[in-house]
Structure 1
Amino acid sequence: MPAPHESSEGNAVLDARDIARALTRISHEILERNKGPESLLLLGLHTRGVPLARRIAERITAVEGTPVGVGSLDVTMYRDDLRSQPARGPQRTVVPATGIDGCTVVLVDDVLFSGRTIRAALDALNDLGRPSAVRLAVLVDRGHRELPIRADHVGKNLPSARSEKVRVRLEEIDGIDEVRIHQSTGEEAR
Structure 2
Amino acid sequence: MITDEDIRMAETRVSEVKERGARLRMANRDDVADAINLEMGRLVELRERKAQQDAAPKVRKTAERSHASDLKGMGAELESSASTVDKARENAARALEELVSALRAHNATVGAVHTRLNALGLPLADDAVDQYESGAGHAGVLRVGGTTWAQVPVDAMLEHAVAEVVKREFGAKHPGARSRDIRLHSLRRGSVGALRIA
TM tier relative to shorter chain: under 0.3
Report 1 or 2 for greater relative contact order, CA contacts < 8 Å, sequence distance ≥ 6: 1
Quick check: which has more Rg, 1 or 2?
2
Whichever structure has more strand as a proportion of its residues is 1
**TM-score, normalization by structure 2:** 0.24
TM-score by length of 1: 0.24
